[in-house]
Amino acid sequence: MDFETIEFRQDANGIATLAFNRPDRLNSFNEQMHREVREALSSLQQNGARVLLLTANGRGFCAGQDLSDRNVAPSDDAPDLGYSIETFYNPLIRTLSALPMPVICAVNGVAAGAGANIALACDLVIAARSASFTQAFAKIGLVPDSGGTWQLPRLVGMARAKGLAMLADKLSAEQAEQWGLIWRCVDDSALMDTANQLAEHLAVQPTQGLALIKQALNASAANSLDEQLDLERDLQRQAGRTEDYKEGVSAFMEKRTPAFKGR
Binding residues (CB under 6 A) for ligand T3D: these are: 25-26, 28, 63-68, 70, 81, 84-85, 89, 110, 112-114, 134, 136-137, 140, 142, 145
CB of 107 to ligand T3D, least distance (A): 12
Q: Which is nearer to ligand T3D, 22 or 214 (CB)?
A: 22
Measured from the CB atom, the residue of 182 and 212 that comes closer to ligand T3D is 182
Indicate the residue among 145 and 244 with the shorter CB distance to ligand T3D: 145
CB of 148 to ligand T3D, least distance (A): 9
Q: Which DSSP symbol is given to 141?
A: T
Nearer to ligand T3D, 165 or 235 (CB): 165
Q: How many CB atoms lie within 10 A of CB 210?
A: 21
In 139-242 the beta strands, taken as DSSP E runs, fall at 171-172, 184-186
Q: How far is the CB of 108 from ligand T3D (least distance, A)?
A: 13
The least distance separating ligand T3D from the CB of residue 183, rounded to whole angstroms, comes to 22
Bridge partners, 124 (sequence order): 104
**Closest by CA position to 58, among listed 25, 30, 23, 31:** 23
- How buried is 106 (Cβ within 10 angstroms: 0-12 exposed, 13-18 middle, 19+ buried)? buried
Residue nearest to ligand T3D (CB): 64
Q: Is the C-alpha dihedral spanning 221, 222, 225, 226 positive or negative?
A: negative
